[in-house]
Amino acid sequence: MIQTYMITAPEYGKVVDWLEEILPGMKVTHREILVAELLLEENFYRLAEASGDASSFSARLDVRKRFGDVDLRLSAHGASFNPLEEMSETTEDTAELYSLAILKAHRDKISHSWKKGENIISMRIHRSDSKTAVHTLIALVLGVVLGVAMKAGLDAETIRWVGDNLFLPVETIFMNALLMVAAPLIFFSVTAGITGMSDTADIGRMGGKLLMISLAKLAIMLGLAVFLGIRMGAMPELLAMQAGDASSGGATVSVRDVIMSIVPKNIIAPFEGNNLLQVLFLALFFGMLLAKAAERAAWVRDFVSFCNRFFTDAMGTILPLMPVIVAVSMAKLMMNTELTVLLLYGRIIGGAFAELLLLFVVSAVFLAVVGRLSPMPFLRKFLTFSILPFSLRSSNGCLPDTLTFCSKKLGIEKKVAMFSIPVGMQFNMVGSGSYVVMLAILLRLTVGLTMDAEFLVSFFFAVLLLAFTFPSVPGATILVMASVFGMAGVPASAVTLFIGIDPLIDGFRTVANVAGNIVSSLLLAKTEGKVDEKIYGAD
């Protein structure tokens, strides 16, 4: 859908009214509309000034909506002029500094090109929350259709060649790209979270209390995930999908091995071997050192914050390729199995949903027993709020709305929520941790490995620590999945079995993560006497 408006400098104000009339109908938020108006104004007047005759300058504005994304496209004839090139300039003019600051703050949303004597400036003002999920679902269906067609039309030798020489390299490259950024992303994410806590009053007491509440809930949920994985039992059909690699898991580690391997021999080894437990240790160690150094290490904290954003952006460039990998994985799967295998994925999706229901039960018990609060107001209000994390599939993405929900709907004092929600995100990855544990257990049963007490204790202890390394960005659970599988004695390559359905389950995991975080914050606030129970109990 494209709508067009001709803008002139003397009547520029009319385009603002036009945008405010049409953009809400495209599901653009009020905040996004304000950003759109600022970006359009800055780019239009810069083009007008560059034209040499600002009074008679005109440009065409196209508002385009494609797959839920909304863009503004500003086109004007004239010599090539790129407003992005001015961002590196310095000036003493206050108004110009303000204008440059606006452009710099949204540089990633702006692009410029010059074609056939026309400057074209594109501005992304709204990104669809559901586009990735829709593309993934389409890719899943196409992959199934392609795999079934190839199985019907190709002989066994050709199918094996296609799988080994076309599909397997694509999966391997994608997984290597994810693992390439996994360790640094987790290191800087955890380190940034710790250093961000250092300026909060009473951090020791409140932080320790928040950690203990979160750990207790996480431990219970991981235990339930182990039980659920055992109840789901072995899935022998998964063995055929591993192309002969299903039984090549590593040896099960003992509690002693887990403890002894936490501290790395050097700083490089954890990143080189992608040992996430050691990465977590380094992040905690250096994070506490930076927090202790206070202002002496201000520049280091800025560097950590930059690296955290940098590797988050790096992950953001890889994950959009997920639909391609989903199509490849599902095609490869259907070439080597029957359509009935899809029922297995139905069971796994059902298991993820069951974990979400169990979390609500555990949360209700914690609120009633620990917080002395009726769980019904929380459950009633959160069910409505859960639509947001389910659609965004990112704890970070819905952070502002989560803070508002906690203060305005649950009555948590704003200062407490501002501390506990951002910090607690890394402590409350209950949805992600439970899902991966469930898969690891059922895969261990599938490959025929023992499920004795020594394994269960060591595995539970290791995963409890590893749960703190789950990044809170969409689809990033598969980063840690390979490490958890390795601890269960399952080959890391088994991750590719679940790439196809991962985006479908990501919404459930995010809802569970956000719910766990909010409950921990609510319990912390209650123990501190910082909950307005009138707001909490109100409809």
pLDDT tens for the chain, residues 1 to 539: 788 999 988 888 888 889 988 888 887 888 788 888 888 888 888 888 888 777 788 899 999 887 678 889 999 888 888 876 655 455 555 555 555 666 666 666 788 888 888 888 888 888 765 566 677 778 878 888 898 899 888 888 898 898 888 888 887 787 778 778 777 877 887 677 667 654 444 556 777 788 899 889 999 999 999 999 999 888 877 766 554 444 444 445 555 666 777 788 888 888 877 676 788 788 878 887 887 787 787 888 888 888 877 887 787 777 677 788 778 877 877 786 666 667 788 888 899 999 999 999 999 999 999 989 999 999 999 988 887 788 666 676 677 678 888 988 899 988 788 777 877 776 788 888 899 999 999 999 988 888 888 888 888 888 887 776 676 655 667 777 888 888 888 887 788 788 777 767 888 888 999 999 999 999 999 988 889 989 998 87
Eight-state DSSP code of residue 164? I
Per-residue pLDDT, 429 = 84
Per-residue pLDDT, 196 = 60
Per-residue pLDDT, 515 = 94
Distance CA 281, CA 330 (A): 37
Helix-, strand-, coil-residue percentages of the chain, each rounded to 5: 70, 10, 20
R_g of the chain computed on alpha carbons: 26
Per-residue pLDDT, 252 = 52
Nearest residue to 377 via CA among 518, 528, 527, 517: 518
Per-residue pLDDT, 339 = 67
Distance CA 47, CA 375 (A): 57
H-run or E-run covering 229: helix 203-232
Residue 317: how many CB atoms within 10 A of its CB? 10
Per-residue pLDDT, 104 = 63
Distance CA 45, CA 272 (A): 50
Classified as helix, coil or strand, 167 is: helix
Sequence-distant (6+) residues with CB within 8 A of 390 are 507, 508, 510, 511
Per-residue pLDDT, 201 = 46
Distance CA 183, CA 280 (A): 9
Distance CA 294, CA 249 (A): 45
Tokens 């930059």, located at residue: 306
Tokens 């009214």, located at residue: 17
Per-residue pLDDT, 97 = 54
Nearest residue to 218 via CA among 498, 507, 519: 519
Q: Which structural domains are found in the chain, ordered by start? A: 2-128 (3.30.565.10), 132-537 (1.10.3860)
**Residue 490 Ramachandran class (φ > 0 left, ψ -120 to 50 alpha, else beta):** beta
